[in-house]
Amino acid sequence: MAGRPYILKETNWKVARETEYEVAILPWGATEAHNFHLPFGTDTIQARAIANESARQVWEAGHRVIVLPAVPFGVNSQQFGLGPTINMHPSTQAFVLSDIIESLEAAQIPKLLILNGHGGNDFKQMIREAQTHTRIFLCTINWYAILDESDFFDERGDHAGEMETSMIQFLTPDLVLPLSEAGAGEPVPWRLAAIREKWAWAPRDWKKATLDTGVGNPEHARPEKGVAYFEAVTNSISEFLVDLAAADPDDLYGR
């Protein structure tokens, strides 16, 4: 049985050589601890699943997009020592991204969307620099920033809380421990008031900033919440992808 034609690792040269791809989608996650109950691959699992479902919707709408294999390593330099967390420095990410762009240029794919699934990743400056060296239109989405979590979940969090737990309960339930084994996800606050108030910033030392590597209470997580959120997020991304696929990179401004 042939694979899904919009997922690169599943499709084949017979299909690819006959397809004029409009957009490549690059899911980019991380490999890091997610409280006691979620897998290290949580960010990559979510980014890959969201990319695949969004691409399915866009392909069925008649546009030719292709999901690249997910990059499973993110910026985790403040989480060394929390088990086998794997860090990829931003400078390394920039080199990886440059090589991917070079490959897409050879394949004559005109647009690239980086679908980011990890809060420690930040591709904006990489894109600013890379865009000066390529004709490929580059853009990025942090999928977790599209919607207001409070419309779907009881408690906000930014790492292994109710939202991510609900998503993984839906996507890969066999990889989630019972919630009775999860930590409370209560962060240890900064002593510096400006950073607590979020008008100053510094990277968190996760061994000191959390008790269980979580930031957000997973207690009220439910898979049905994950389903609703997943559907809303992928619907939003697929709408953007339809617009992006149809857009002329030389005519992106105006009313």
Query: How sure is the predictor about 121, in pLDDT bands with cuts at 50, 70 and 90?
Result: very high
pLDDT at 74 over 90: yes
Burial of 131 from C-beta contacts in 10 A (0-12 / 13-18 / 19+): middle
Phi, psi of 24 (to 5 degrees): -105, 140
Mean residue pLDDT of the chain comes to 97
pLDDT tens digit string along 136-194?
999 999 999 999 999 999 999 999 999 999 999 999 999 999 999 999 999 999 999 99
CATH placement of domain 13-246 = 3.40.50.10310
Q: In the chain, what percentage of residues exceed pLDDT 70?
A: 100
Return the closest-CA partner of residue 182 out of 236, 145, 220.
220
Determine the pLDDT at residue 63: 97
What is the mean pLDDT of the segment spanning 102-116? Answer: 98
Report domain extents, the chain: 13-246
Determine the pLDDT at residue 255: 80
Indicate the pairing of strand 111-116 with strand 137-142.
parallel
pLDDT tens digit string along 178-228?
999 999 999 999 999 999 999 999 999 999 999 999 999 999 999 999 999
Determine the pLDDT at residue 189: 96
pLDDT at 1 over 80: no
